[in-house]
Structure 1
Amino acid sequence: MTLAASLVRRGAAAFAERTALVFGDDSLTYAEVDRRANLIAHHLAGHGVGKGTHVALLVSNGLDSIPMEFAAIKAGLVRVPLNARLSLDEHADMVTGSHATVVVADAALAARADELAARIPGLRAYALADLLAPVAEPVGEPDVVLSEDDPSLLLYTSGTTGKLKAVVHTQGSYAAICSNILANLLDPQPDSVMLHAASLIHASGTFVLPYWVRGGASAILPGFEPASFAAAIARHRATEINLVPTMFAMLHGSGALDGADLSSLRKVIYGASPMPRPVLERSIEVFGPILTQYYGQTEAPLCIAVLDQHAHADPTLWGACGMPATDVELRLVDEDGAEVPAGEIGEIALKAPFRMQGYFEADELNARSLTGDGWLRTRDLARFDERGYLHLVDRTSDMIITGGYNVYPREVEDALAAHPAVAECAVVGAPDEKWIEAVTAFVTLRPGATADEPELIEHVRARIAAHKAPKSVHFVDAIPKSAVGKILRRALRQPLWEETR
Structure 2
Amino acid sequence: MGENTALAAESFCDVVRDHARVQGDVIAFTYVGEEISFAELDEGANRAANGLAALGVKPGERVAFLGKNHPLYFEAFLGAARIGAVMTPVNWRLAAPEVAYILDNCQARVVFIGEGFAEVLSGIRADCPLVEQVIGIDATDFTGTDYRIWRDGFSATPPAHRVRAEDDALQLYTSGTTGKPKGAVMTHGSILSSRDATASGEEMRGWQEPIPGDVTLLAMPCFHISGTGTGIGTMVAGTNSIVLPEYDPTKALDLIANFNISKIFLVPAAIQILLNHPRVSETDFSRLKYITYGASPIPLELMREAMRVIGCGFVQMYGMTETSGTIVALDPEDHVPEGSPRMRSVGKPLAGVELKIIDEAGNPVPVGTVGEIATRSSKNMRGYWNNPDATASTIDAEGWLRTGDAGYLDEDGYLYIHDRVKDMIISGGENVYPAEVENALYSHPKVADVAVIGVPDPKWGEAVKACVVVKPGETLTEAELIAHARTLIAGYKCPKTVDFIPALPRNPSGKILRRELRAPYWVGRDRAVN
- TM-score, normalised to structure 2, is 0.74
Contact kept in structure 2, 1:117 and 1:125, CA below 8 Å = no
The separation in 2 between residues aligned to 1:53 and 1:131, in whole angstroms, is: 19
The separation in 1 between residues aligned to 2:311 and 2:31, in whole angstroms, is: 27
- Aligned pair 1:370/2:395, yes or no? yes
Counterpart of 1:197?
Answer: 219
Q: Which among 170, 178, 196 is matched to residue 179 of structure 1?
A: 196
Q: After superposition, what is the alpha-carbon deviation per residue over 1:23-69, rounded to whole angstroms, capped at 9, x for unaligned?
A: 12111111111111112112222111232221111132123122112
Residue segments in structure 1 that go unaligned for 5+ positions in a row = 400-408, 414-425, 429-437, 447-477
The separation in 2 between residues aligned to 1:149 and 1:389, in whole angstroms, is: 31
Q: What secondary structure, in the 3-state scheme, does the structure 2 residue paired with 1:397 have?
A: coil
Identity of aligned residues (%): 29
- Aligned pair 1:188/2:210, yes or no? yes
Change (3 A) 1:335 1:178: same
1:282 Cα deviation (Å)?
0.8
Contact kept in structure 2, 1:110 and 1:127, CA below 8 Å = no
Q: What secondary structure, in the 3-state scheme, does the structure 2 residue paired with 1:213 have?
A: helix
The separation in 2 between residues aligned to 1:211 and 1:87, in whole angstroms, is: 31
- Aligned pair 1:242/2:265, yes or no? yes
Counterpart of 1:464?
Answer: none
Q: After superposition, what is the alpha-carbon deviation per residue over 1:275-325, rounded to whole angstroms, capped at 9, x for unaligned?
A: 122211111111225111110001003222100100113721221100111
1:272 Cα deviation (Å)?
1.1
How many residue pairs get matched?
432
1:445 Cα deviation (Å)?
6.6
Where do residues 260-409 of structure 1 align in structure 2 (5 Å cutoff)?
260-313=283-336, 315-316=339-340, 317-398=342-423
Q: After superposition, what is the alpha-carbon deviation per residue over 1:229-253, rounded to whole angstroms, capped at 9, x for unaligned?
A: 1111122210111110000111122
The separation in 2 between residues aligned to 1:441 and 1:315, in whole angstroms, is: 26
Change (3 A) 1:496 1:307: farther
Counterpart of 1:85?
Answer: 93
- Paired residue type of 1:141: P
Could you say which structure has the greater relative contact order, defined with CA pairs below 8 angstroms and 6 or more residues apart? 2
Contact kept in structure 1, 2:16 and 2:38, CA below 8 Å = no
The separation in 1 between residues aligned to 2:301 and 2:198, in whole angstroms, is: 27
1:138 Cα deviation (Å)?
4.5
Counterpart of 1:17?
Answer: 25
- Aligned pair 1:58/2:66, yes or no? yes
1:115 Cα deviation (Å)?
3.2
Q: Which among 226, 229, 234 is matched to residue 211 of structure 1?
A: 234
- Aligned pair 1:142/2:166, yes or no? no
- Paired residue type of 2:101: D
Q: After superposition, what is the alpha-carbon deviation per residue over 1:140-179, rounded to whole angstroms, capped at 9, x for unaligned?
A: 1122132222211111011666531110111221221212
- Paired residue type of 2:23: F
Change (3 A) 1:140 1:370: same
1:254 Cα deviation (Å)?
2.5
- Paired residue type of 2:209: D
1:380 Cα deviation (Å)?
1.0
Contact kept in structure 2, 1:10 and 1:213, CA below 8 Å = no
The separation in 2 between residues aligned to 1:127 and 1:357, in whole angstroms, is: 29
Contact kept in structure 2, 1:74 and 1:142, CA below 8 Å = yes
1:210 Cα deviation (Å)?
2.7
Worse-matched range after superposition: 114-123 or 382-391: 114-123
The separation in 2 between residues aligned to 1:498 and 1:176, in whole angstroms, is: 51
Contact kept in structure 2, 1:243 and 1:271, CA below 8 Å = yes
Question: What do you get for the CA RMSD once the two structures are aligned?
Answer: 3.3
Q: Which among 111, 122, 132 is matched to residue 148 of structure 2?
A: 132
Q: What secondary structure, in the 3-state scheme, does the structure 2 residue paired with 1:330 have?
A: strand
Q: What secondary structure, in the 3-state scheme, does the structure 1 residue paired with 2:329 have?
A: strand
Residue segments in structure 2 that go unaligned for 5+ positions in a row = 1-8, 138-145, 435-450, 460-481, 506-530
Q: What secondary structure, in the 3-state scheme, does the structure 2 residue paired with 1:318 have?
A: helix
The separation in 2 between residues aligned to 1:158 and 1:181, in whole angstroms, is: 32
Contact kept in structure 2, 1:43 and 1:131, CA below 8 Å = no
- Paired residue type of 1:347: E
